[in-house]
Structures are given as structure tokens and as C-alpha cells.
Amino acid sequence: MDTTSFAERDGYIWFNGELTNWREAKVHVLTHGLHYASSVFEGERVYDGEIFKLTEHTERLIKSAQILGFDLGMSVAQINQACIDTIKANNIVDGYVRPVAWRGSEMMGVSAQQNKINVAVAAWVWPSYFDPEARMKGIRLKLSDWKRPSPETIPTQSKAAGLYMICTLSKHQAEAEGYDDAVMLDYRGRIAEATGANIFFTKEGVLHTPTPDCFLDGITRRTVIDLAKSRGIEVVERAIQPEEMAEFEECFLTGTAAEVTPVQCINDYQFTPGSICETLIRDYDALVRRKQAA
């Protein structure tokens, strides 16, 4: 993976209607999105030159903006094309795409009724989110001290930048203690999700996953549920208490970046990546690469 600062890379970023030199795609320090988190984004993967489930991601971007009270002023088709143009301009075959929209710097204050809505799309080469060796044996997670908030306190069904502050805090704390990532409980004390991925558990051949009522129902999450059902694996969406982890056999995360990533432990709870994890990793890879699953 390229370790060069994202501000110092070369290439092109689609910025408000045109491809712009990467290093010139800048915003002012008094941008409303920076100060008041009035920003939404998406994360998309490119496999063999095609963006996986592009339209679903674009539709969610538009919906997230609407939830935050602003209109992107672009159609699904226009945003899709901007994403496609960006990966082509940067010659991305396997990588990551980041569409983002935010309120600009025309007004500075909580109210931003007259601020311009900016839209940009960046893309770069990005391999597996977690170290490949760690992914195969299962990653190590820690329960976070931070909790996913109630839908009555924040727009939890949007992919809004402000929702990720506690994710960064959680992941940093976990990494400082030697873990790969963190698992967050919700405001009721139930299992919610990891910092950037949904979570699944298995018990006696059945998949269990938290009901996404205060966090995103991920596109990869829904994809994996469909793959599991196509294999005849029962999927149960329900409230999951932390102490239930003692009874689960396998655990894995799902997300655009994480794809399907097995988990070996959450705090002292131990899991053994097994046949269900292996099957869904294989099936997901076959789907995104348009291969025939075994």
C-alpha cells in the first residue's frame, strides 16, 4: 500500500463537475463540513476495473445528504459517471473510491442555509483493509468504551462524517492495546458493530447479526446475508447481548473495506474461523470478481 500522504499524491480527483489535479483539490479552512460535520461520504471498492454495487452506494450517498438537510444537485447517473471517470483517470483496476459531499465556506456558524454543496470523488489503489496474514487467522478485537448513540440523538441512518468520531477514538484505543479493531455496543448495551464494519456470529450452523436500528445496514452486510441464504444458511437478525458471545463459534466482520474478515477474539471471548467464514469469504470473492463459486 502507498504510504505517501494523501495530500501529496499524484493523479486526479473529480471536484464539483470536473477532473482536477490531485494536489489542487482543496477546500478552505473555514469550510462548514470541517467545523460542524455537515459532510457525508461513501466507500466503494473497485474489482477488475468495475465498482462493486456502485448505484447502491450512490443512492445511499444521496439519501445521507437528504437526511442531513442538503441536496447534492446531481442525479444517481451523474454521480455514477463521476466515480467511473475518476477510476479511469487514475487507472484504478483494484482499489477504493471515496465520494464525499459537504457544505462549503459561504457561511460560518451552526446555520448554513446559503452554503454551497460541494461534491468530490477520489480513488486510489487499496488492497485488503487488514493485514492478509492476520485476516486468514482472524483479527483481534476489543470492546470499546464508546457506544453507538440513539437514533433520537443523531442521524444514525446516514453515512455522515460526524458519526465516525467515536469510531476513530475506539480504533485508536484498541490499536494502542495491541488489538486490530474495536467492537462497539449500542446505547442499550447490545452488540452493534465494529468501527467501520458490521458483525456476524455463528452458532450451530446459524448466522446471528445485530438488527441495524441505530447503525448502518451495510451494503456488504446485505450482500453477505443474501449469499448465506443462497447457501441455505439461516440468518437471524436480532438484539445480541455481549454475554452471548461466550456461546458463539465463529465471528466475522463485513464491510466494503473489510470485505469478509474472520475474528479470533473479542476481549476474552474466543472464536475459531471455520466453514461458514470460509464459504462466505469464497462466495463474496467470487461475486465481486464475477467468478464461479465452488
Measuring CA to CA, which residue among 44, 33, 29, 36 is closest to residue 121? 44
Give the active site residue among 26, 116, 147, 159.
Answer: 159
171 among known catalytic residues:
no
The alpha helices in the chain, defined as continuous H runs, are 32-36, 54-67, 76-89, 132-137, 165-176, 219-230, 275-288
Q: Are strands 250-255 and 198-203 parallel, antiparallel or unpaired?
A: antiparallel
Q: Are strands 18-21 and 12-15 parallel, antiparallel or unpaired?
A: antiparallel
C-alpha cell at 122: 477520489
Query: Which residues have a Cβ under 8 Å from the Cβ of 102 and sit 6 or more positions away?
Result: 27, 31, 32, 33, 38, 39, 40, 117, 118, 161
CB count within 10 Å of CB 185 equals 20
As annotated, the active-site residues are 159
